[in-house]
Amino acid sequence: MTVSDGCTAEDLLQFHLWFFVVFCAMDFNHVLLSQYRPALHARYKYDGRRVVLRHKAFKTLLRQYNPDVYRLIDHQYLELHKGLEAIFRTATLGIYRYQENFARLYMLHQERMANPIFPDLRKLHQLEDEMQAATYAL
């Protein structure tokens, strides 16, 4: 089965699922930025209902405009949601575990900006190695 623009229904479904992943990542990023950037934290309030409605509307668009592709969806959303949740949970736990390192890096940056002398390169390299290990785990 092909769609009018030449791609198959499976291709269209795959694009739809990729866009769903992108939307979830954007929401996660927005939440993280609102927690760690004070200017955003004051203005932003997370509304889980709004996020769920937006995601459901995106799924409904596929059902409404291309029911043939929507019929191909079996368990992809459930599996995708489980995978995304695991990734976001790991990222959040990693940020929590390494928050002291983040704070030290921020303080180093603040000190360097206030007093532009050379930082302790050993300490900086040690923190970079620790952060590399943290990002590798994510």
pLDDT of 115 reads 67
Share of the chain above pLDDT 70, in %: 86
Tens-place pLDDT, residues 32-75: 777 776 666 677 777 778 888 888 888 888 888 888 888 888 77
pLDDT of 61 reads 87
Which of 51, 16, 53, 15 has the alpha carbon at shortest distance from 30? Answer: 51
pTM: 0.60
pLDDT of 89 reads 87
Lowest-confidence region among 28-37, 55-64, 83-92, 121-130: 28-37
CA–centroid distance for 34 within its chain: 13
Grade residue 1 by pLDDT with cuts at 50, 70 and 90: very low
Residue 33 CB: number of other CB atoms within 10 A?
Answer: 13
